[in-house]
Amino acid sequence: MHGFAYRQGSLHCEDVNLQTLADEHGTPLYVYSANTILDHYRRLDEALGAIDHEVAYAVKANSNLSVLRLLAEAHAGFDIVSGGELFRVIKAGGDPAKCTFAGVGKTRAEIEYALKQGIYSFNVESEEELRYLNEVAAALGVIAPAAVRVNPNVDAKTHKYISTGKSENKFGVDFDAIADLYARAARELSHVKLRGLQMHIGSQLTSIDPFIEAVEKVAPLATHLKVTHGIEFWSIGGGIGIVYHGSLDSGDTGWWESKPEGERPLTIAQYGQALVPRLEHLGLKILLEPGRLIVGNAGVLLTKCLFEKRGKAKTFKVVNAGMNDLIRPALYEGHHEIAPVKQPTADTGIRKVDVVGPICESGDFFCQDRELPDFQPGETVALLSAGAYGFAMASNYNSRPLPAEILVDGSTARIIRKRQTLDDIIAGEA
């Protein structure tokens, strides 16, 4: 969490005190560090500097217009998964010609919109979809640029909901079927131009090994397609994991000493050092589609403790954010560190608690049986590493307004999304 640290007894985002933001804007509140986002983007860009490449930010991780604008101004490309995401990228000043369009179920309307905007490539996931793309392009009298997603059947060793590169996943075309598919497409599909190859093996990968395995397995295929079909790019996907455990220096209280075995950070430098030598001789433009790496540790969700409820078996800290605001713990058993905004001291007691939200579901928790420095009702706590798949997956479940979002740049804090009102929630309903 590079942009987040305790200073003068309070957690800050860059030069802004998070307590001040919580007081001014209320909670739950998402806060992002602009300079952390840019730093992650630039470091990845530099790590691949020795080869022809482009970083196409995976918009799904955090699609706020101001976040997209930051990255557009840094000349990022964008990996989109819907017409809605393309609309956002364009509104934010992003270049459609730097957009790749992923996903297993694109609609005619989305394909037409993306064709008219002139995107770089449709990353298609099946022969059926490729034929459909050809049909839609033919009807418009244009040629659709495309790449097929290869499923390399590599175990990404991540949570089963975010693993995508195994044969049993719904994604991509079997490795062994790709060469024939390209040959058939070249013969039969006159309104598709296969300009690349794509893969993505999963998300939150904390080891380099699956990346190496996939790149080594698919590289000969990419070379073959370059020779036989003149493809120009290979997207190796996203998936670089981030540190969730102990993602902030807890100071001298040391309450996060308990980093579990196994969560070793995969650094950007390691990623570059391992992959560049395996990619540089291919003569292909290499695309990356990172989402979490860019924004995950650039954001927190601030929430207020409402009550402490002492049950027979457990102590619950009830906070005013719920699984509708941040669903990762409920959905993937995702771990987010929980840090009181007021810096704990050596005198602060450590308590084993469940931090739970107000939603009417037992899955509405942010941690269970976790030892945390004690905090009281009325105090603000930060759920860390919430910049990716946080707000982007938030919903109005239980008719709760979506939280506001703030972007911090140095000592400036800007509202980049207003908190929803109750009227916003029912807008459009009859």
268 binds ligand LLP (CB under 6 A): no
Q: Tell whether residue 79 is a contact of ligand LLP (CB under 6 A).
A: yes
Q: In whole angstroms, how close is the CB of 331 to ligand LLP at the nearest point?
A: 7
What is the gyration radius of the CA atoms in the chain, in angstroms?
A: 23
Q: Give the residue, chosen from 83, 237, 344, 387, that forms a contact with ligand LLP under the rule CB under 6 A.
A: 237
Query: Which residues inside 239-258 make contact with ligand LLP, applying CB under 6 A?
Result: 239-240
Beta strands in 34-120 (DSSP E): 53-58, 77-80, 99-101
Residue 290 binds ligand LLP, judged by CB under 6 A: yes
Draw the binding track, 162-181, toward ligand LLP (x: CB under 6 A; -: no contact): x-------------------
Q: Which is nearer to ligand LLP, 375 or 389 (CB)?
A: 389
CB 246 within 8 A of CB 259: yes
Type of residue numbered 10 = S
Active site residue 360: yes
* Residue of 12, 106, 195, 200 interacting with ligand LLP (CB under 6 A): 200
Q: Are 37 and 294 in contact (CB under 8 A)?
A: yes
Per-residue 3-state assignment (H helix, E strand, C coil) for 247-272: CCCCHHHCCCCCCCCCCCCCCHHHHH
Q: Which is nearer to ligand LLP, 122 or 375 (CB)?
A: 122
Smallest distance, Å, CB 173 to ligand LLP?
A: 14
Among positions 18, 58, 192, 279, the unique one binding ligand LLP when judged by CB under 6 A: 58
239's torsion region: left (phi>0), alpha (psi -120 to 50) or beta? left
125: which residues sit within 8 A by CB, 6+ positions away? 102, 103, 104, 148, 149, 170, 171, 172, 173
Would you call the peptide bond into 145 cis, given omega within 30 degrees of 0 as the criterion? no
- How many helices (DSSP H) and strands (DSSP E) are in the chain? 12, 21
Closer residue to ligand LLP (CB): 366 or 389: 389
Structure tokens at 89: 């990228």
Which residues, in sequence order, are bridge partners of residue 303? 381
Number of residues interacting with ligand LLP: please give it, by CB under 6 A: 21
Please state the separation of Cα 208 from the chain's center in Å: 18
- Which span (2-10, 23-31, 198-206, 262-270) binds ligand LLP, by CB under 6 A? 198-206
Report the residue number, 69 or 159, with the smaller CB distance to ligand LLP: 159
CB of 343 to ligand LLP, least distance (A): 28
Binding of ligand LLP at residue 61 (CB under 6 A)?
A: yes
Chain length of the chain: 430
**The token pair that represents 139 in the structure block:** 């009807």
- Any contact of residue 40 with ligand LLP (CB under 6 A)? no
Catalytic (active-site) positions = 360
Q: Which residues bind ligand LLP (CB under 6 A)?
A: 58, 61, 79, 102, 162, 200, 203-204, 237-240, 289-293, 328, 332, 388-389
